[in-house]
Amino acid sequence: MTPKSNSAVLRVVTKQIIPMILLFGLYVQFHGEYGPGGGFQAGVIFAAGFVLYALVFGLDNASRAMPARALFKLAPLGVLLFAGVGVYSLLRGYAFLDYTAIDPHDPVHAQHLGILIIELGVGLTVFSVLLLIFYAFAGRRRADSLTHKDMG
Amino acid sequence: MNSLVLPALIPLLTAPLIVLIGGRHRAWLMAFISLGAALLSVVHLFSLGDSQNALGGWAAPVGITYVIDAANRPILLLIMLAGLLGLLCAPPERLAWLESPRPAIFYALYCLCVSGLAGIASTGDAFNVFVFLEISSLATYALVAAGPGRKALRAAFQYLVLGTLGGSFVLLGVGMLYMATGSLNMADIAALIPASPLPNAVLVGGAFVLLGFMLKSALFPLHQWLPGAYSRSPNAVAVLLAGSGTKVSLYALSRIMFGVFGVSWLVAHQVDKILLILACAAMLFGSLGAIQQTRLKALLAWSSIAQIGYIVLGISTLSEAGLRAAWVFMLFHAVIKGGLFVCASGLPSDRLENLPGLAQRDPLRAACMTLLALALLGVPLTAGFVSKWLMLQAAWDSGALLGVIVFAVSSLLAVAYVARIVLPIWQHSDNTQPIITPPTIRLAMLLTTAAALIFGVWPGPVIELCQRAAEALL
Amino acid sequence: MDLGLINGYAAVALLMTGLYIVLAYDNPIKRLIGLSIFQAAIFVLYISMGRIAGGTAPILAEGIERYSHPLPHVLILTAIVVGVAMLALGLALIVRIHEEYGSIDEQHILELEREPDA
């Protein structure tokens, strides 16, 4: 993954396009309760932005922008955010993941808030896990890459 | 009522916490505490009685429900005990071969695996079963790959391919049942099946679900993944898998059979005869395979294939006595086989030819191993005898003569492979260098051996528990 | 032939193709591809099941009264995630196998394995 692209066109276009990808990811994340989308799709789009960056500017630059160590913290945090909502409702005496517990006086608002929080958790985890998978495969030492014979 | 989710939830929450906090010693401690807490929650479930819990407040049949009754409480207990037993065999300093920069992940995966198994055992939703099946399976593939030596990697890949096929069959079958009934709730599907406009979809869906769980429980001839997965994985994982992995799939198999389709449907489609034939083949070829092995853990794995045949023999009778025997067999076999895998852990060599002299090198291990192997054989006054006796009775009463004959033949073959473990242990050998066994493994060996002996003399409470499980299922 | 069942026929064809690849090939990467095709066939079956004649995408909008059934879509989203995890884990195992054996060719590895256990 060390060879970086020297094409000026590619580099310029990529720099223009990545913010848009990330912005679209955020839109899909937070608009998920009204339209198509949600945490999983948003996480994938967000990760795709970073993958594009790594492909054009090299893995080293990408891991400076988003270190694997941070991703290792973000992934479990997302799961804990999701599960935390469930545990909170359990502790408040409601069923597991019953969003009503968040705001018992206004159940509709509570559903709204609940889905937003857990989708944020999903988005965080999907983003960081997908990017970690990419880092793991791309960063592997390729001293002797798969030969053609192996593939036959 | 909300406490029904705890056995699956506690380990599920611990896994991300372990990844977040890290450190192999802290991770081991956290996993141990979490499984201990989950065990306490299971004990609490025993005092609750039969109950249901709707996740998110969405009542069945729309929402996902968790159902706890007499049938799955013993299974949940089994999962947590096997999980703790496995952890005793994997204190952090014994995972030296794990070169991973983050060894704590091993324990996170271990918790995920236990959580998945507990989820399969406690959910009442057919699709949720698939989800938890995959959670536990994916964790298991990675855990198997963490085994010492490079052969673990190939065993894990083999398991991944076959296990994914099994999981996909379950998914396919659940989809067909959903097509035929419009419901994913097991109790609801059961009520809707008689009036279903698509009886053929019910039949095909049922066949796929049952096939998937047969693959997951390694019923002969779908057992190819098991020897590698058991014998190449780290010992802690082998203990967990042998103790609860296939048992949970067998539980899910019986739950779908009796909870969704019912005895009359099963008889009408000859599921009982198919299971009987497969059980006989498993008993026979499992024991024959075990005799030919040259490594201790591979021998134990092949013996497990035969034991799965015994359990399925009990299920195939479709009778209360048969199910009771199957449940007793599952519990006792988990103790015995789990104990034997505990005894196999920490041995300098896994090969059978290196067993001679073990009695001098590590007397406690040799004694425990001998007693447990005898219990595996079914010698009177051990737990193995009780389970085999109940099973033989149930098979005889149901008139499955073929089953009884193969049962006897397989038990005779078991003498041969148990002798291959027990006899060399007490032979003299020039190698008298003592084996150092960590205290946690000693404790695990003593506990399982004591359980195998105590329940052999005093099996009453366990049999009663399983009697109630059988009544709840039918 | 009833065109209404065309998705069903497609799913069966994919199912058989995938299963054949998994069972007939030695190359682990091809077997993973087969598994993915096998799973995709099941996804097709589920999604087709959710179709309702004349229904649109299940998003609330004015003037639309018929929606296709969203539940199978949700179920399959879960199954797709499981499939992705399986694929990543499988490929990671293949990378590790290649690092350890220097080959992923089944015949070659079997020759290496003739050497006794450590």
DSSP character for C3? G
Domains of chain C: 3-53+68-114 (1.10.287.3510)
Residue of C57, C81, C98 lying closest to A146 (CB–CB): C98
A7-62, pLDDT tens digit by residue?
Answer: 888 889 999 999 999 999 999 988 877 777 788 889 999 999 999 999 998 888 88
pLDDT score at A43: 92
What's the angle, vertex CA B118, arms to CA B91 and CA B239, rounded to 5? 35
What average pLDDT score do residues B97-115 get?
81
Instruction: Give strand pairing partners of B51.
Output: B68
pLDDT score at B120: 93
Q: What residues 57-86 of chain A have any CB closer than 8 A to a CB of chain C?
A: none
Alpha helix ranges (H) inside chain A? 8-30, 39-57, 59-65, 68-91, 107-138, 148-151
Backbone phi and psi for residue B96, each to the nearest 5 degrees, phi listed first = -60, -30
What average pLDDT score do residues B458-462 get?
87
Instruction: Assign residue B23 a region (left: φ > 0; alpha: ψ between -120 and 50; beta: otherwise).
Output: left
Per the domain annotation, does B204 fall within a domain? no
What's the angle, vertex CA C102, arms to CA C97 and CA C108, rounded to 5? 90
pLDDT beyond 50 at B44: yes
DSSP character for B373? H
pLDDT score at B363: 85
Nearest chain C alpha carbon to B179: C49
**Interatomic CA distance for residues B9 and B38, integer angstroms:** 8
User: Cis link prior to B221 (omega < 30° from 0)?
Assistant: yes
Contact C104 A146 (CB under 8 A): yes
Q: Which of A28, A133, A135, A137 to mutate to test the interface with C (most CBs of C within 10 A)?
A: A133
- Render A29-64 in DSSP notation, one character per residue: HHTTTTSS--HHHHHHHHHHHHHHHHHHH-HHHHHH
pLDDT beyond 70 at B236: yes
Q: A105 to chain C, minimum CA–CA distance in Å?
A: 26
pLDDT score at C8: 86
* Residue owning tokens 């509709």: A108
Q: Is B449 touching A (CB cutoff 8 A)?
A: no
Contact C89 B160 (CB under 8 A): yes
B389-409, pLDDT tens digit by residue?
Answer: 999 888 888 888 888 899 899
pLDDT band for position B165 (cuts 50, 70, 90):
very high
Per the domain annotation, does B69 fall within a domain? no
CB atoms within 10 A of CB B48: 12
Q: Which two tokens stand for residue B127?
A: 């699709």
pLDDT band for position C118 (cuts 50, 70, 90):
very low
**Interatomic CA distance for residues C79 and C85, integer angstroms:** 10
- Letter for the amino acid at A86? G
Q: Is A151 touching C (CB cutoff 8 A)?
A: yes
- What residue numbers bound the domain in which B326 lies? 270-474
pLDDT band for position B344 (cuts 50, 70, 90):
confident
B215: nearest Cα among B168, B257, B180, B156: B168
Q: Is A115 touching B (CB cutoff 8 A)?
A: no
pLDDT score at C20: 94
Per the domain annotation, does B44 fall within a domain? no
**Interatomic CA distance for residues B468 and B140, integer angstroms:** 31
pLDDT beyond 80 at B98: no
B180-219, pLDDT tens digit by residue?
Answer: 888 888 888 888 888 888 888 899 999 999 999 999 999 8
Contact A146 C92 (CB under 8 A): no
pLDDT band for position B281 (cuts 50, 70, 90):
very high
pLDDT beyond 90 at B150: no
pLDDT beyond 80 at A145: no
What average pLDDT score do residues A128-141 get?
88
**Interatomic CA distance for residues A92 and A84, integer angstroms:** 12
pLDDT band for position B326 (cuts 50, 70, 90):
very high
pLDDT score at B100: 64
**Interatomic CA distance for residues B288 and A70, integer angstroms:** 52
Query: Is-contact B308 B286, C-beta < 8 A?
Result: yes
Say what the ipTM of the complex is. Answer: 0.91
What average pLDDT score do residues B344-360 get?
82
B66-80, pLDDT tens digit by residue?
Answer: 888 888 889 999 999
Q: Is B131 touching C (CB cutoff 8 A)?
A: yes
pLDDT band for position B101 (cuts 50, 70, 90):
low
pLDDT score at A141: 66
pLDDT score at C1: 46
Per the domain annotation, does B177 fall within a domain? no
- Tell me the CA distances in angstroms from B53 to B46, B61, B122, B254, one per residue in order: 15, 12, 10, 21
Q: Which of B133, B144, B150 to mutate to test the interface with C (most CBs of C within 10 A)?
A: B150
Per the domain annotation, does B207 fall within a domain? no
The total of structural domains in chain B comes to: 1
The sign of the torsion formed by the CA atoms of B241, B244, B250, B256 equals negative
User: What is residue C117's three-state secondary structure?
Assistant: coil
DSSP character for A5? P
C15-50, pLDDT tens digit by residue?
Answer: 999 999 998 988 899 999 999 999 999 999 888 887
Contact A83 B54 (CB under 8 A): no
Contact C31 B161 (CB under 8 A): yes
Q: Is C103 touching A (CB cutoff 8 A)?
A: yes
pLDDT score at B211: 93
pLDDT score at A5: 60
What average pLDDT score do residues B266-289 get?
91
Q: Which two tokens stand for residue B146?
A: 């963490």
Percentage of residues in chain B with pLDDT exceeding 70?
Answer: 98
pLDDT score at C35: 94
Give the up-direction half-sphere exposure of residue B155: CA atoms within 13 A in the CB hemisphere: 25
Per the domain annotation, does B299 fall within a domain? yes
Q: Is C27 touching A (CB cutoff 8 A)?
A: yes
What average pLDDT score do residues B35-46 get?
89
pLDDT score at C3: 59
pLDDT band for position A146 (cuts 50, 70, 90):
very low
Per the domain annotation, does B161 fall within a domain? no
- Average pLDDT over chain B, rounded to an integer: 88
Q: Which of C75, C78, C105, C107 to mutate to test the interface with A (most CBs of A within 10 A)?
A: C105
Q: C105 to chain A, minimum CA–CA distance in Å?
A: 6
Q: B90 to chain C, minimum CA–CA distance in Å?
A: 21
- Render B352-407 in DSSP notation, one character per residue: GGG-TTHHHH-HHHHHHHHHHHHHHHT-TTSHHHHHHHHHHHHHHHTT-HHHHHHH
* SS3 assignment for B290-330: HHHCCEHHHHHHHHHHHHHHHHHHHHHCCCHHHHHHHHHHH
Least confident window among A70-74, B21-25, B197-201: B21-25
What is the separation of C-alpha B50 from the centre of its chain, rounded to a whole number of angstroms? 23
Per the domain annotation, does B117 fall within a domain? no
pLDDT beyond 90 at B221: no
Instruction: Give strand pairing partners of B123.
Output: B66
The sign of the torsion formed by the CA atoms of B254, B257, B262, B264 equals negative
Query: Is-contact C40 B164, C-beta < 8 A?
Result: no
pLDDT band for position A148 (cuts 50, 70, 90):
very low
Alpha helix ranges (H) inside B22-99? 24-48, 73-89
